Each structure stands twice: as structure tokens, then as C-alpha cells.
Structure 1
Amino acid sequence: MAFKLLWVVVFTILTYGEGLRSTSEVCNPSDLKGLASFKSGIIEDSSDRLTKWVGLNCCKWEGISCDDTSGRVTEIRLPGFISTDGFLLQSQMKGWLSPSVALISSLEVIDLGGLIGLSGTIPTFIGFRLPKLRKLILYSNNLTGPLPESIGKLSNLEELVLYENQLSGSLPSILGSLKNLNRVLLYSNRFTGMIPDSITNLKNLAQLDLHSNSLSGHIPHRIADLQFLEELDLSSNLLTGSIPLSLTNLTAISVLYLDTNYLQGPIPFPSRSEQMPSLSFLRLHSNLLTGRIPSMFGNLVSLQRVSLANNKLIGAIPTSLGNLSALTELYLYGNRLSGRVPKSIGLLSHLILLDISHNLIRGPLPLQMSSLQNVQTLDLSFNRLNLSSIPKWVAELPSLSRIYLAGCGIQGKIPHFLQTTPSPIQELDLSDNDLSGSIPTWLGSLTQLYSLNLSRNSLASTIPDSITKLQDLGMLDLHSNKLTGSTSQVFEIGHRFPDGSLTYIDLSDNSFSSGIDQIGTGAQIGIRFLNLSNNILQGSLPSSIGRLKAMEIIDLSSNKLGSNLPDSLANLSSLQKMKLQKNRFSGKIPSGFLKLIKLKDMDLSDNLLVGEIPVGKPLSDFPISCYSGNRGLCGKPLTPCKL
């Protein structure tokens, strides 16, 4: 009734509009109709802003602005993020974007970004009905359909922000006619096709972000015509071809992200000094780039973060990198770089992270690296360093807290000096070396340790009791050593610190014989990955294992575990993979396994299980091999049970 009454009033305005305007404050009838249609399309508004849209003076409604002279509505600003008492809260509007919003013909700004639940399409005729539109901001909604061709008629458009929707189709070539556009953010949609060459006509463009779509083809060679471009992000698409040499002419560019595509050929810049003087953030990783890192790369003096990782780059790391005095992060991992680490690396006084892992770099390491006073993360793993021992200066770096030296040819015992580093160690990876001796008891003093990986070594000892002191431990990987005794110390961490962060445990391929009864008896409720396979564990699984409800992968295969499978295993509702083969489990398969709806991989073969396999998914979907070697089992997918 209220809605009908509104339209009676609107009809009156249409008939006697000018006279009524002179006696009271009433919005333009078309504006009222457009706003009323927008409101009617919203079925839920968590911010309650639309409930305050009452009366006929829409210029006083929350989120609405009008022109003082004409009285026409010029702005709709109802962003999802609302600042309240210093806190930023996100609201949502469930419903659809009414195409009647185009009736508000004097609109200059539409900001409905971040409303999450707003669905519908961008009106196909938006370019014809809203000629004054300067800003169209509809990011992080649930909009679908194409970007309409008529958008190219918005000659005054300055900002087009539509990222994180489900928009699809090709980018209209008519975008290139929007001469005033300076900001285009269309990432995380489903746009396909090629980047139209016409986009290079946007001479005032300062920011172009099309990442996380499905755009293919080449980067337009005329991209350098965008002389005011400061940020270009084309990452996470399907782009091919080479990086245009013309990019070096973008004198204002500060952010260039071309990563996660299929780009080939060499890195073309810089080809001479003083090119791209403002470039601060460069990402070219995860492409198919070849050749060497340009010898003049150090001329990009404004660089702060650089990632050239996961390509096919060869040759030595250029000494000119030492000129990058502002550099804080350098990612070169996953290439075929060779030679030695240049001494000039030691000049990078602001460097916080250095990752040159998975290359062909030879040792020894230059002593000049000891000058990296601010480095917090150092990853030299899987090169041809053949260090023999960890350089003592590594443990003397004042800010270093994350040390990755996997596969570096380190021999002997774990050095004691790692106990007394200036900055507490948070992550330590010494895997895939030739370490021997025991796991040192002093590891328990590294109270801020979150990740410990000592796998694939020749360590021969029990797990020290001191490990129970590691309250922040989240990842423990000791697999493929010669460790013996009990696993109970690991599970006791949960006893001591009920709110601990332990999520990943791999103790496989050792000679542990006991401790299985401690699983789930503490408060290790956050464990998601547990691998105890290929040990000599004995005993039965305790019912307390059902408390590990976050578990996604569990592998207890190739042990000597026996007795019945506990019914509580059915409580692991997040379980995706369960490997229990090659043990001595007996009895029936619990019928509760049918509740494990996320289970995609299971193996119960080579046990002593009997009875009928519970009927239904997911158990009936697994192949025969998952149940073979249990002579007493029957039912689908095995042979039918005898009556």
C-alpha cells in the first residue's frame, strides 16, 4: 500500500510538478521513480540505510546527493564498507540492481561497491541514459552478464570499478572512446577474448587493472601510448606472446604486474639507463620467460619489490642489482640461474626478503651477505651450494627469523649456534640435507618457532621432550629420518597449550613404535594433516581421534595397527583423504563412514576387515583396490555378500 501511495504522489507531481515544487521540497519525479525502483529491488539491507528513504525530498536521504540549482540527484553513494567509531564494517544488500536507476538522468556518481549480495546486470542502455556519469563503482557484488557496449557512450566517465563480480564476455572495443577515463578496475570477473587495441586510446588513464580474468592474446604494443599510466595489472590471465618493448616508455608507471600468464621471450627492460624511473613494484613471475636477467636491471632504481620467479631464466644474477638501494623483496626462485651470488647483494641494506631457491647457483656464499642487516626471510634452498655447514654469519643476522636451507649439502649435526640467534627463529627448514646425530633438546627453547622441517635427513634419535614447549608450533615435518621411540611428545603439545596452532604433522618413514594412543587426547583440534605412515606403530586407534574435526588428510598406512576401526572416525566431517592400508585392522567398517561426504580418497586394503561394506556413497564409489586384501569383506564394489 505504501508503495502504491508513493506512485499516487509521483503522479500528482508529474501533473502539477512546478507548482508543488514552489511550496515544498520534492525531488524530480524521474529521480523518485528511479530510486523507488532501486529500493524495491533490495530485499535485505543490513545497514538499514534504505529504511530511512521516506518522504519526497530524496535529496535528504542517506547516500543521496543533489545539485543545489536544479535539485536533480547527482550521486548515489551506498558503499558496502561503512566507517563507524573508527571501525570499518561491511554491509550487504541482497537483491537486484534495478535497470530503472538509469531514469536518474543527471547522475554523476554511482557507488554501490562492496555490497556482496547485489545481483543483476549492468543496464544495457546505461550509456544512453546517464550522459553525465563520471564514476561507476560496483565492485565486490554478484553482478553477471556482459559489460554493455553502450558504456562507451559515457564521454565523461573517469572511473570504472567493477572488480570481483561475475561479469563475462569480451571487453567492448568501444571502451577506447572514453577519453576522460583515468581508472579502470575490472579484475576478478570472467572476461574473455583479447584486450582491445582501442584501450590504448584512453590517454588520461592512470590505473588499468584487469587481473584474474580469462583474457587471451597479446598485450597491445601501443600500450605505451598511455603516457599517464601509473598502475598496470594484467596478471592471472591467459596472455601469450612477448612483453612489449614499448613498456619502457611508460615514464609514470610505478606498478607493473604481468605475472601468471603465458608470456614468452626475454625481459625487455631496461634497455638503457633512466627508463621507467618510477617503477616500484614489478611482478613477472609464473610465465615462460627466457634469457638472462638484463645486465642493466639495476638501473630501475625505484624498485622496492621484484618477482621474476617461476620462469626459465638462465645465467648469472647481475651485479647491478646492488644498485637497487630501495629494494625490500626479491623473488628469483624457480628458474635456471647459475653462477654465484654476487657480492653486490650485500649492498641491499633495506632488503627484508631474499628468495633465490630452486636454481643452479653454486657456492660459496659471499661474506658480504652478512651485511643484510634487515633481512627477515632468507631462502637459498635447492641450489648447488654444497655448503657442508651453515655459515655462522647466517645465525648472526640481526633480523633473520625465517631460514630456508633445504637441499644445500649441509652435513653433520644441527649447529648449536641456531639456539642463540639475535632474532627468534620462527621458521626453520633444513630438510633434504645430510644431517646426522640427534634432534637437539635446545629446540624447545625456540619458543616462537612456528614451522620446523628436518625431513629427508639421517637424524637418529627420539623426539626430545622439550618439543612440548613449542606453543606456537604449527607445522612439524620430520619424515624420512631414522627416528625411533614414541610420537606422544608431539601430541602432548596439545595438552600443554589447548589453544595451540598445530595443523600439520608428518612423521612418516621412520621407526616410531608407540604413541598412537595419544591422538586426540590433548586439544590438537586444529590438525588438518597427519601422516604417520611407514613406521612400526602398534596398538589400536583411540576413540579420541574423533575429536580432530578439522582433519582433512590422515595417513596411517604401513604400520602394525590393529583392533576395530573406531566409530568416532565418522566425526571427521572435513576428511578428504584417509589411508589406512597395510595394517591389522579387524571387525566391520563402521556404518558412520557414510557421513564422510567430503571423502575423495580412501584405502582400507590389506587389513583383516570383515562383513558387508556399508551401502551408499561415498563408500560405494571407491574402486575395488581400496578394499582388496580383506578376505572377509563383501558388498559393493566387491562381490555381493552371501545370505
Structure 2
Amino acid sequence: METTTIVFTVFLVLVSFISRIEFTSCKRVANLSCIESERQALIAFKESLVDPSNRLSSWVGEDCCAWEGVGCSKRSGHVVKLNLRNPNPFDTVSALSNDNYAQEYVKTCLGGELNPSLLELKHLTRLDLSMNMFSGIPIPNSIGSFSNLKYLNLSFAGFGGEVAYHLGNLSSLQYLDLSVLLYSDLLYYELSIDDLQWISMLPELQVLRLSGVNLEKPSRWLQAINMLPSLIELRLDNCQLYHILPSLQVNFTSLVTLDLHENFLNSTIPPWLFNITNLEYLDLSHNSFLGFIPEEIEHTKFLEVLDLSRNSLRGKIPKNISNLCNLHEFSVNENRISGDIFNILGRSSRCALQSLEHLSLSINGLTGQIPHDLRQFQNLKYLDLSGNKLNGSVPESIGQLQSLEVLKLSNNSLKGTISEHHFSNLSSLFELNMESNTLAFNVSSSWIPPFQLAFIYLSSCEMGPQFPKWLQTQTQLSEISMANAGITDVLPDWFNNISSQSYYLKLSNNQIHGPLPSFPQIYERHIFLDSNKFDGPLPVFHADVILLDLSDNLLSDYIPQSIGYMMPEMFILRLSNNKFIGTLPESLCQMESLQVLDVSKNQLTGKFPRCWNNSERLTVIDVSENSFSGLIPWSLGSIPSLQSIHLHENKFYGELPESLKNLTNLQTLDLGHNAFYGVIPSWLGENLASLRFLSLESNHFVGEIPLQICNLSALQLLNLAQNNLNGTIPHCFRNFTSMIVGTEDLKQRYPIYQENILLSIKVKAFDLAWLEHEHVFRDPNSAFHSLIRKSKMISSLRVLDLSRNALQGEIVKNLSNLCNLHEFYSIENRIHGDISNTLGSSSTCALQSLELESQHKSTDRKSLGGKMVKIGNLKLLESLDLAGNELAGNQLQTLDDPSVYLGNSKLCGYPLKSCSEDKPSSNGGHEDVNENRGKDILTICGGNGGHGGNAYFQVVADLLLVISNSGGKGSLAEEEVFFWKRWQLS
């Protein structure tokens, strides 16, 4: 017993001694201050930084370990972590919606230089400088000297230039992020890597993020990354990658996340990708991958996210994709996928049905009907089937998908009725898009939806004739689109409440009538109320509105003189085709952000404002079809951003002001149908090199056509018709580049503004009695509809119109050089020469309309001659008028109307006399010529321009038919039909 007591006593003494040692040690560690040399290094580092928000205000005192962003080892006191990441991360949504966001964001960022004093932190394991702004300085080579560094994050920090190989010295590195911020011009600096071999010297690397870094030069980028056996995450999106190896022995078998979206990869999807069996996240979207989705996809059993959207994939979705039981998100939108939708939605495995949360199949070629029973997709939150060829009805079982948040079925061929049963359990729904189908909403007037929508897109659905009452319950709407919805109502009083939080309102193409409310509580920044029947005066909207389209209504009275002061943020203002009177308010010049001003087709008068000196962003001015008078203001030439000017059909006069030569970005200058006079200035060709459309028709210009016009290599339309020009046609016209090889397509910048140039179509006379019959407009084979069809066919029109001047001399030789010239007119001039030398060998050219009719009656006049044989090579020719000349030989055999050859007595062949005998040739069963009036010759006599295959033309519905009084029923007198062709502005 005594021995035991002694042992126990000794034990207590030892425990007490050890505890005292441990306590003393812990106390000493706890009291450790940072190393003085490292504190001095941090002070020097701080002094080289720019800190506008004073984020480093805590960097004072002796203990640097207590400073913001500094972390020290508890044992040694050395600085091991430096985290200076911006606590206010960049918000892409705010940047896209707010022009001033980037400037405000920079004020929260650190900037300046990285002082080499930082190298004193030899024990640093973690360095984070992300979300700052170092204004394009290179990443210092010295960072490669931190031998203990495991974590390096320099993303979105504004570094630029080439990434040096010194980072390859960081052999302990596990995390590397050099991603570049791409969503703001103000904050973007290009960061590039010319040789990626150094990355293979980081054997411990687990996470590699190079989003936005230019990797165009490293040809062996994949081989270098394949040397990283521990890699778990790889992000190379937006890296300008063009090639990916078709075969590879994969070494990074631990890879879980692979992101290659937004590159230029244009091969088939390499099968080796699906040998990475641990993959959970694979994003190949926004590339140009071709071919089929590989069957090997079934090997990636753990895949949770698969994004193949925006490629050029075709064929059917592999059936075995339904075996991916962990798949939560599958996106293959914007490809060329085909097949029946039932095989995708109706035959999925049970595990796939239960796991899938996001399914996007939009903008493909899927057909068939949506399966009747969709209840199995109980976890589905996002369903997008829009932009396919689906038909049939929308199944009511969609209403049972209680997790559904987003439903998009727009732009299909769905038909039928939508009832409250389609939404019965959709309590989580916040976005509904059923636009552009043939759907009619039929719900009870007392129905209260279970959801609160933020986004509603029901354009082209039948919602009317009254505004649906259930909309009153939707008080959190951000975007409202109900255009072409059959609404013939007035705006109800409660509409102000549901749209009080929205920033996008579109009610275009309805029959909404009554005065236009002032919307005192509505803060939409984008308002589309065009093509309705609103009447009365124009109210002033909220000051935050940036886009306002009220075109094609019945609004009248004066445009408020204060509009520019009350709506200073305006970006696009369209008031065209109303009944506004009075002058154009000078306060419009105060809209410093204004880019598109369209007040065409009104009854505005007076002088055009002269205050445009500060309108630095203005790109489009369209005041056509009004009654403005006076001179073009000199200040119009002080807007360098102007691309499009439309002044036609007004009462402007005078010589063209020389200040317009400063508009070096101008692409459209339409001054037709005014009273301008003087010579055509040479500076049009010398200074306005970007011009594509130039129309000076129906003015009083005199003198010769300046040779400098030939410098306009991009010109697609030149209309000088109906002036008093003399001299010869410049032979350099045959060198117009865009009419020889075409020009690149113009990018769409303002989708709601469409370029307008007035054209005239000559047709054989439609007498009033004939036009009064409704069948003319109903019959798709009538000349009226033929006119419409022809106006839509031309997608890249190049036009040269010199008609009705006093031009003389020989016709331009080798006109066939202009192989993109679609229309050439030189009516009522004094042109002569051999037409066969002019047209040459034109079998491959695009000429569709040719009018060289001569109507001069002088007996000693010269006219066009030559043989017609080569004209027969113009395979695309649809309209021809060569009357009153002296042509010989075989004429074009495809046009039936003999009047196009009148006065050419030496021509022969159908429908004229036979070439072998002086008698009419057989008409081959064709109708009598007199019964063909108005069916054959539809000659486009004005100008138009195109933007390649992406151009969009639309004939305005209100065609103005100008009927002749000189031609009775059956007359072949020629008349003009004026209409508008539209294409989207670049």
C-alpha cells in the first residue's frame, strides 16, 4: 500500500511538471508576434499598392499577424497566408445592365505594383490577389520563387502580357488560377501563354483554371496537361483553342471537372474524353464540334453535368445516355439533333428520370409530340424544348412537375388550349415561355395561379381580347412579353401594379387602344408598345427608360419639348409612323446616350435641329417621310459615330454641307426625294469610305458623276436616278468591289431598328376595277403576291440606278465584272454601244433585273445594239426591259412578254417572230399575251442593300399602289408600286 502511494505521488508530480512545461510553451506561442523582417516587407508591399477603398487600413502596429488578410503560423510566427481577394466580387449581371458598374467596381480594387519585398515571405503557402485591378502589368517572375506555395490565385486581377515559365518552379503548387475577366472592356487585359510546357513541372497540381487566358500558340497544350496525374479540375474555357487531339492515352484519370466551353474546337468529340471515368462535370459548349454524340458516353457513370450546347452536332441522342443515373443537368441546345422527342422523354430509365433536374434541348430539329405522361420527372427544375418542330398539344401532366422553375416551349408548332390544369402544382415556377406557337389560354376568370412569375413570355399566344385577369396576381414580374396576343383592350388600371418592378415590357402588335398612360410607377428600361392603336398625345416616361418604341400607333399632337430633359438616359427612341405634328424638340440633343432616333413617317415640319455637337453616340437618324425643310444642319457632320442617315421624302434643299465628310463611319446616306442641288461633291468618294448605300435620287443635282465615287469599294447601292446629271457613265463603275466579290455580312446591332430605303417596283398596270376584287390579294399566284415574293427573295442586293438623267456616251464595257450586281437601270438616258461587250460572259453572275430602255424619239439618236446571244447566259434574270433599242439575234427565251423587246426589229425567237421565217413562233401553249398583263414583269427600279445570308427583309403591309389614269382596262401602261424593303442595321 505504501509503495502504491509513493508511485502515485511521483506520478502526480510528473503530470504537474509536464503540464507546466506545456502551458508555458503554449503561452509563448500565443504571445508570438510576426517576424519583424516580414512586417517590414508587408509595409513596403502596401506602399506600392493603390488602395482607393482603404481596405488595408488595419495594416498598422507591430503585430502584422493581426492585419486584414495576413495569416501567420501559430508555431513559428512566419507569414504563411496572404489573402487580399476583393471582398466585393465582380457581378456580371450588373456589369451588363449598368454602364457605370465597371468604373464603380474599380474603386473597390487594389492596384498599383507588386513590390519584390514580398519575397521576404519565404514560408508563404497561400497567395490570393484575385478580383483586383493591376491594369495590365505582367505577373512578376519573382512569384515563381515562393518554393512552399501550394495555393496561387491571381484570377480576375487585371494582369496582362505573357505568363512566364517561372511559375513552373512552384513544384509544391496544388491550386493555380490565372483566369481573366472577359465581361468588361474597361477591366479586360489579355493574358497569354506561348509555351505551356512548364505546367508539366507541377506534379502536385490538383486544380488548374486558365479561363480566358489566350492559349492559341501552345500546340502541345494537351500533352503538357496530360502530365499532371493528380489533376482533379481543369478549366480552359475562352482560351482560343482550335485543336484537340483525336486520340490520347489519358494520364489525368482523377479528373472530375473538365470545362472547354467557348473555344473553336471543330473536330468530332474525341472518344478518349469518356475514358476519364471519374468525370462528374463536362462542358464542351460553344464550340464547333461536329458529328454524332459518341456512344462511349455511357462509360462516364458518375457524370452529373453534361453540356454540349451550341455546337454542330447532328443525329440522334444515344439511347444509352439514359443509363447515366447521376446525370442532373443535360444541355444539347442549339445543335442539329434530330429524332422523336418521345424517344428522349418517354423512354428514359427510372434512375435518369429521378435524377434529372435540368434538361435543355432547344433549337434543334426534334419532332413529334411531347409525351402525355411526364409525372416521372419529379425533380425536374428546368425544361427547355423551344425552337424545335414539336407538334400536338401541351400535356396537362406538366402541371404535376412540382419542382419545375423554368418552362420553355416557344417556337414550335404546338396547338391547342392551355388551361389552369397545366399549372396546377407549379408553385415554384418563375419563368414561363410559350411564345410563337398556336396556343390559346382558356382559364377561369377567377383563377389564381399557384406561382409568382418573374419572367413571362406569351407573345403570339391567344390571350385576348381582354387582358387576362390572372395577371393581376403576378406582382414580381421583371420581364413581360405579350406581343401579338390578340388583345384589343385598353390598358387596365391594375397593369401599373404588376409591372412596377419590371424592366422589360413588350406589348407590340396588338390592338390595344386608348390614350397612352404616363405609367408613373413603372420603371421599365425597355418599353415596346409599337404596332397598336394608342392615340392622343405622347406622355413623358420615367427618367430611367433607355429604350422606347411607340412606332406604328395613332399618337398625335406635338412631341413634348422637354422630352430630352425628362428622359436623359434614352438609348433608342422610335416614334415612327404616327401622327405627330410640329417641330422636332431641340432637347433631344440632351440625350447624350442616344444612339437611334427614328421619327419617320409623321407630319413633322420646320427646320431640323442644329444642336447635335454633343451627340457623340448617335448612330442612326431617320426623319424620312415628314415635311422638314431648310438646309442640312452643319452640326450633323460633328457626330463621328453616325452610321445611317435617312432624310428622304422631305423638303430639304441646298448643297450638301461639307461637314458631312467628317462622318467616316457612315454606311447609309439616303437623301432621295428632296430638293438638293449643285454638283455631287467629290468628298463623298474621298472621305466616306464605309458607305454601302448611297441614294440621291429625285433631287436637282447637276454636272457629271464624280470619278471619286468609284473609291467606295463597299458600295452595294448607288441610286442617282431622276436628277439632271450629264456626261458619261464612269468606266470605273465596273470596279466596285462589293459588286464583284460581295462583302462580309454586317452584324446586327440594333435588332428593333431596320434600315429603310424607298424602292419602286414597276408592274404592268393594275386597273382599279381589277384591284377591287379580293381574290387578287387572296390568290397566291396573283401578280400582287408575286411582287411580295420577289421582294423577299433578294438577300444581298447590289443595285446601280442611273435612270432619267441626261447621261450619254457609250455604255460601260465589261459590266459582267460586277458579278454581285443584281440590278442595273439606265432608263431614259442617251446611252449607246454594243450590249454584248457590256455583259460579256455572265453565266455565273447574279443579275436579276436589267433595264436599258431608250425612249428618245430623235431620228438621229444612237441606241444600244449588238447581239442578244450572251444575255441568254444570265440564268438568274427575272426582269428585262430593252425596248426602243436596235438589238439583234436571239433574245432571252424565258420571259413571255414581247413588250420588253419593243422597237428591236432585228430580234427573233419566241415570243417574237421565228428566227428562220418572218412569222410568229409557236407559243408552246402559253396564254395570250394580253391575258398575261401584270403577271410577268416585276422590275425593281429603286435601290436596296443586303447583309448577306443573315439579312432580313420585310415588305411593309401597307403597299401603296399608284394607279395610272392613262391606261384603261387591259392597258399595258407601266405603273409603279412603292414599298419599303427593310434589313437590319449593322
**TM-score normalised over the length of structure 2:** 0.54
Cross-structure match for 1:91: 157
Distance 1:617 1:79 in 2: 52
* Cα pair distance change 1:374/1:629, threshold 3 Å: same
Q: What are the superposed Cα offsets for residues 20-59 of structure 1, whole Å, 9 maximum, x if unpaired?
A: xxxxxxxxxxxxxxxxxxxxxxxxx96634734647x865
Deviation at 1:131, TM superposition (A): 4.3
Distance 2:696 2:117 in 1: 64
1:511 aligns with 2:579: yes
Cross-structure match for 1:606: 673
CA contact 2:125–2:149 (8 Å) conserved in 1: no
Which range moved further: 105-114 or 576-585?
A: 105-114
Which range moved further: 416-425 or 92-101?
A: 416-425
* Cα pair distance change 1:640/1:111, threshold 3 Å: farther
* Cα pair distance change 1:124/1:190, threshold 3 Å: farther
* Cα pair distance change 1:74/1:174, threshold 3 Å: farther
Cross-structure match for 1:553: 620
Cross-structure match for 1:341: 418
Q: How does 1:243-642 map to 2 (within 5 A)?
A: 243-267=317-341, 268-269=344-345, 271-272=347-348, 273-342=350-419, 343-365=421-443, 370-383=448-461, 385=462, 387-400=464-477, 402-421=479-498, 426-436=503-513, 438-440=514-516, 442-463=517-538, 467-488=539-560, 492-496=562-566, 498=568, 501-521=569-589, 523-611=590-678, 612-616=681-685, 619=688, 622=691, 625-632=694-701, 635=706, 636-637=708-709
Cross-structure match for 1:9: none
> 272, 296, 316: which is aligned to 1:242?
316
Distance 1:602 1:494 in 2: 25
Secondary structure (helix, strand or coil) at the match of 2:253 reads coil
Q: What are the superposed Cα offsets for residues 317-358 of structure 1, whole Å, 9 maximum, x if unpaired?
A: 122211221222222111111111142313211211211111
* Cα pair distance change 1:50/1:325, threshold 3 Å: farther
Distance 1:52 1:265 in 2: 64
Secondary structure (helix, strand or coil) at the match of 1:110 reads strand
Deviation at 1:428, TM superposition (A): 3.5
Distance 2:236 2:601 in 1: 52
Deviation at 1:615, TM superposition (A): 4.5
Which range moved further: 364-373 or 243-252?
A: 364-373
1:135 aligns with 2:211: no
* Cα pair distance change 1:444/1:97, threshold 3 Å: closer
Cross-structure match for 2:962: none
Deviation at 1:575, TM superposition (A): 2.5
Q: What are the superposed Cα offsets for residues 535-573 of structure 1, whole Å, 9 maximum, x if unpaired?
A: 221112112234332222222112111212122223333
Distance 2:727 2:403 in 1: 72
Distance 2:149 2:369 in 1: 52
- Give the partner amino acid of 1:118: L
Distance 1:553 1:445 in 2: 29
Distance 2:418 2:640 in 1: 48
Q: What are the superposed Cα offsets for residues 131-163 of structure 1, whole Å, 9 maximum, x if unpaired?
A: 444332222222213433343343332221111
Deviation at 1:252, TM superposition (A): 1.9
* Cα pair distance change 1:576/1:391, threshold 3 Å: same
Cross-structure match for 2:906: none
Distance 1:368 1:322 in 2: 18
CA contact 2:446–2:470 (8 Å) conserved in 1: no
CA contact 1:233–1:258 (8 Å) conserved in 2: yes
* Cα pair distance change 1:443/1:306, threshold 3 Å: farther
Distance 1:539 1:456 in 2: 27
* Cα pair distance change 1:617/1:315, threshold 3 Å: farther
Distance 2:380 2:583 in 1: 52
CA contact 2:667–2:690 (8 Å) conserved in 1: no
* Cα pair distance change 1:208/1:167, threshold 3 Å: same
* Identity in percent: 28
* Cα pair distance change 1:341/1:589, threshold 3 Å: same
Secondary structure (helix, strand or coil) at the match of 1:313 reads strand
- Give the partner amino acid of 2:311: N
Distance 1:141 1:291 in 2: 43
- Give the partner amino acid of 2:177: D
Secondary structure (helix, strand or coil) at the match of 1:562 reads strand
Which range moved further: 245-254 or 97-106?
A: 97-106
- Count of aligned residue pairs for this structure pair: 571
Larger of the two Rg values belongs to structure: 2
* Cα pair distance change 1:623/1:577, threshold 3 Å: closer
Secondary structure (helix, strand or coil) at the match of 2:215 reads strand
CA contact 1:346–1:369 (8 Å) conserved in 2: no
* Cα pair distance change 1:458/1:137, threshold 3 Å: closer
RMSD in angstroms over aligned alpha carbons?
3.2
Q: What are the superposed Cα offsets for residues 398-419 of structure 1, whole Å, 9 maximum, x if unpaired?
A: 4345433221222243334424
CA contact 1:528–1:552 (8 Å) conserved in 2: yes
Q: How does 1:33-48 map to 2 (within 5 A)?
A: 48=113
- Give the partner amino acid of 2:248: I
CA contact 2:328–2:358 (8 Å) conserved in 1: yes
- Give the partner amino acid of 2:358: F
- Give the partner amino acid of 2:553: N
Deviation at 1:279, TM superposition (A): 2.6
CA contact 1:230–1:254 (8 Å) conserved in 2: yes
Distance 2:112 2:280 in 1: 33
In structure 1, runs of 5+ residues without a counterpart are 1-44, 65-70, 82-89
Deviation at 1:96, TM superposition (A): 1.7
In structure 2, runs of 5+ residues without a counterpart are 1-109, 129-144, 182-188, 710-719, 729-986
1:186 aligns with 2:260: yes
- Give the partner amino acid of 1:458: K
* Cα pair distance change 1:295/1:552, threshold 3 Å: farther
CA contact 2:257–2:279 (8 Å) conserved in 1: yes
Distance 1:401 1:110 in 2: 39
Distance 1:167 1:459 in 2: 52
